[in-house]
Chain A
Amino acid sequence: MITQRSFFPFSKRMIVPLALTLLVVLIYPLVFSFWVSLHEYSLTALEDVRFIGLQNYIGLRHNPSFWNALRNTVVFVFGAVFLETVLGFGLALLLHRPTLRFRNFFRSILLTPMFITPIAVGLMFRFLLNQQLGVLPYLLDQIGIQVDWFGPQLALFSIILIDVWQWTPFMLLLFLAGLESLPASPFEAARVDGASWFFTLRKVTLPLMKPVILVALIIRGLDAFKVFEYIYAITRGGPGDSTETILYYIYKVAFRFFRMGEAAAMAYVLIALTLFLVFILYRIMSADEGA
């Protein structure tokens, strides 16, 4: 009894179900995936699975589609997350004003997009922005503006805007909560001390909000790397391959071309890349934290 306790205490027994579940649905696939990435593993030739070492990884170096998808994804992530951060912060400041009436109403409505299934968002905007059927091109046309939202020039940018529509609310949610939990007195002290609105924002609000901003950037940034539904709903990577993102490309390689080994290798590169970016971000944000 006593030994059983010390070897296997209550605290560990409590995590057994979770550990088992994650082992089956998460760890095993992760390991299996890595194993697959070291093989020539095609769904069309399952009897002919061959170990090829790092060939799948090395092959990526000369795969222009992979690099194109990577570039598109990085542009997308940086563009979208940047806009979402700025807009989210601005809206949070607007909602945080003590004079604002109906704050809860504004907040509840403004947060809604983040709860909707992205495929619906994609289709909604495809419809709204469609050249012939869409209401937005129609309205713009009335004032003499013609934009081809999903043409080769703008398609990626339009996808970014759609992401901004859906995910700025997430930033707003975190930033607003952050602002609300800041102590009031430093801001009152700043008011008495004669600091202007902008000076207070720069010297007090932003530094105090840094931890929240960091967490928001990491969560949203990592999430943005997974962009898939908008592409699937709207452009399927086109025109050309101008909106092909990494997850969409992996999907294509795995489930259109059935080259599982190559897809698994790309997925691992994606993990490495995201971890690297998180690390960089973390270093930048905590750089002047010293002392």
Chain B
Amino acid sequence: MAKIQLEHVEKYFGDVHVVKDLNLAIEDGSFTVLVGPSGCGKTTTLRLIAGLETITSGRIVIGDRDVTALEPKDRNVAMVFQNYALYPHMTVADNIAFGLMARKTPQDEIERRVHRAASMLDIESLLKRKPKQLSGGQQQRVAIGRAIVRNPNVFLFDEPLSNLDAKLRVEMRTELLKLHRELEATVVYVTHDQEEAMTMGDRIVIMDGGVIQQVGTPREIYFHPRHRFVAGFIGSPAMNMIEGRLEDGEFISSHFRIPLDGPAFEGDVILGIRPEDIYLPGSLPAERETPVLTAKVEVIELLGARAIVPLLVNDLSMRAVIDERHLEQVQEGGSMSIVFDRNRLHLFDAANGERIE
């Protein structure tokens, strides 16, 4: 219902520079996830959009309105807080109706909209209760109900699922996505859980130290991380990072060498390879396999259909994810042959961490 633009946004808390020259265009109707390590400025960015913090410099536009100087109430945004921020002394119905009452909406209209929101969230039977009498998941729904009842242009979520248990969290993810489709609203969603980011966002914004490292679809972020930080942050188990040099198109580390074709770069680099892109020889088309390396198997951590296998390749610790079907060829304490998928190798400039194509 509204696009959001952040232009050269800066935020200082006293002397602390928390958000640094942030430029971001969030498309109308998109589900955009802000993700990054703790303290990187996600919450602050969200609160800047909501107007709960004033920006030090820069400009924020929602729809076609410059809202930089507007109060939160004049921005037509709704926010769902991590701890839900329900009013403990009000019933669920009053909690949901609060924003409408504050805007002096007629009583019958309030009732209609509260009931519609409640039925969307399946909490109609809870309307007369107080927050204390609700489970965490139910409180979460009330908090969301309070946001949707107002028909805002933009929904802002700050880690809304982090207080729920694992199972409920997965369920609520699906529900939130369904809700997003029904409401066709613009959603900005903060999380520090990269899995949540990957499954929910149609666009992901990765932040680190108050700076945006990459904006893209989950696929782009996963397969083409633009920066060493992004590559390391997204994916579990984390990408293997190997320090080395590029000389005449060959990657040289103290542990092994891999001839590459393509990059014209010369100098210190970091080679990234995801654990799931490590294979037993013969399982990939031949042209995609790198030269065979011998690795010592330390242990096997079986996860079910797959196993995480910590390896030592000439003293270099790596992790591989091996399909359960191939596990019989692998023994703890034994050694195995491995190859990497050429198409999935990532190279980063060691000097600034940027991707080398």
A and B touch in the complex (CB under 8 A): yes
Point out residues on A near B: beta carbons under 8 Å: 183, 185-186, 188-196, 199, 203-204, 207-208, 210, 291
B113 within 8 A of A: no
Residue from B90, B130, B150 within 8 A of A193 (CB atoms): B150
B50 within 8 A of A: yes
- Give the Cβ gap from A215 to chain B, nearest Cβ, in Å: 17
Q: Are A185 and B85 in contact (CB under 8 A)?
A: yes
Residues of chain B with a CB closer than 8 A to A191's CB? 51-52, 71-73
Per the 8 Å Cβ criterion, residues 67-111 of B in contact with A are 71-74, 77-79, 81, 83-90, 98-99, 101-103
B319 within 8 A of A: no
Point out residues on B near A: beta carbons under 8 Å: 50-52, 71-74, 77-79, 81, 83-90, 98-99, 101-103, 130, 146, 150
| Nearest B residue (CB) for A193 | B99
Q: Are B88 and A208 in contact (CB under 8 A)?
A: yes
Instruction: Evaluate whether A207 and B89 lie within 8 angstroms (CB atoms) in the complex, with A185-B83, A188-B81 already known.
Output: yes
Instruction: Evaluate whether A186 and B85 lie within 8 angstroms (CB atoms) in the complex, with A192-B78, A193-B150 already known.
Output: yes
- Give the Cβ gap from B155 to chain A, nearest Cβ, in Å: 11
Q: Are A204 and B150 in contact (CB under 8 A)?
A: no
Q: How far is it, in angstroms, between the C-alpha of A188 and the C-alpha of B52 when the chains are bound?
A: 7
- Give the Cβ gap from A47 to chain B, nearest Cβ, in Å: 63
- Give the Cβ gap from B94 to chain A, nearest Cβ, in Å: 9
- Give the Cβ gap from A176 to chain B, nearest Cβ, in Å: 20
Q: List 13 A-B contacts (CB under 8 A).
A: A185-B84, A186-B86, A189-B79, A189-B81, A191-B51, A192-B50, A192-B73, A192-B79, A193-B150, A194-B72, A199-B102, A204-B87, A207-B90
Q: How far is it, in angstroms, between the C-alpha of A33 and the C-alpha of B99 when the chains are bound?
A: 58
* Residue of A190, A192, A193, A207 ringed by the most chain B CB atoms within 10 A: A192
| Nearest A residue (CB) for B50 | A192
Q: Are B98 and A203 in contact (CB under 8 A)?
A: yes
* Residue of B52, B73, B98 ringed by the most chain A CB atoms within 10 A: B98
Q: How far is it, in angstroms, between the C-alpha of A201 and the C-alpha of B99 when the chains are bound?
A: 14
Q: Are A183 and B85 in contact (CB under 8 A)?
A: yes
- Give the Cβ gap from A278 to chain B, nearest Cβ, in Å: 23
- Give the Cβ gap from B282 to chain A, nearest Cβ, in Å: 56
| Nearest B residue (CB) for A194 | B73
Q: Are A190 and B98 in contact (CB under 8 A)?
A: yes
Residues of chain A with a CB closer than 8 A to B50's CB? 188, 192
Residues of chain B with a CB closer than 8 A to A196's CB? 102
* Residue of A183, A186, A188, A291 ringed by the most chain B CB atoms within 10 A: A186
Q: How far is it, in angstroms, between the C-alpha of A190 and the C-alpha of B100 when the chains are bound?
A: 11
| Nearest B residue (CB) for A195 | B102
Residue from A188, A194, A207, A210 within 8 A of B99 (CB atoms): A194
| Nearest A residue (CB) for B150 | A193
Q: How far is it, in angstroms, between the C-alpha of A275 and the C-alpha of B160 when the chains are bound?
A: 47
Q: Are A192 and B130 in contact (CB under 8 A)?
A: no
Instruction: Evaluate whether A188 and B79 lie within 8 angstroms (CB atoms) in the complex, with A193-B73, A193-B99, A195-B73 already known.
Output: yes
Q: How far is it, in angstroms, between the C-alpha of A186 and the C-alpha of B90 when the chains are bound?
A: 12
Residues of chain B with a CB closer than 8 A to A199's CB? 101-102
Apart from the given pairs A190-B98, A194-B72, A194-B102, 19 other A-B contacts in the complex at a CB distance below 8 Å: A183-B85, A185-B81, A186-B86, A188-B85, A189-B79, A189-B81, A190-B102, A191-B52, A191-B72, A193-B78, A194-B150, A195-B73, A195-B98, A199-B101, A203-B87, A203-B98, A203-B101, A203-B102, A207-B90
